[in-house]
Amino acid sequence: MAEIAELAAAVREFSRERDWEQFHDPKSLVLALVGEVGELAELLQWVPADEVVERFAAPDRRARVGEELADVLVYLVCLSDVLGVDLGAAARAKLASSHARFPADDVRGVAPHKP
């Protein structure tokens, strides 16, 4: 089984064992995801933009930010599972459509901007 589907199955089993599926409606899961994104943001917020990579290169700091990234992924996988979305396939489809939408020769070196 693919890695993301395995993660989804592990999260589902974890929730089922604890009878926590009752809390996992999509809106609650988006809020939980937002909570974890917030913790990630707090970890980086006051570090100067050009020092973040170096600051988090030390093993303990890398492990720390890895935990926050993992928390975001776990809720994202759980939310996708509850919504019946194959997250890995959706990400591959998105990348494929981005290749078509942003031809390399047209956008090289130019950040795509929002209206």
Q: Can you tell me which of 20, 60, 100, 101 binds a copy of itself, judged by CB under 8 A?
A: 20
CA-CA distance, 103 to 47, in Å (whole number)? 34
Which of 65, 10, 60 is CA-nearest to residue 40?
65
Grouping H, G, I as helix, E, B as strand and the rest as coil, residue 101 is helix
Q: Does 111 bind a copy of itself (CB under 8 A)?
A: yes
**Contacts to a copy of itself from residues 41-100, by CB under 8 A:** 41-50, 52-53, 56-57, 62, 65-67, 69-74, 76-77, 79-80, 82-88, 90-95, 98-99
Minimum gap (Å) between residue 42 Cβ and a copy of itself: 4
Minimum gap (Å) between residue 60 Cβ and a copy of itself: 13
Minimum gap (Å) between residue 5 Cβ and a copy of itself: 8
CA-CA distance, 73 to 21, in Å (whole number)? 17
What does R_g of the chain's alpha carbons equal in angstroms?
17
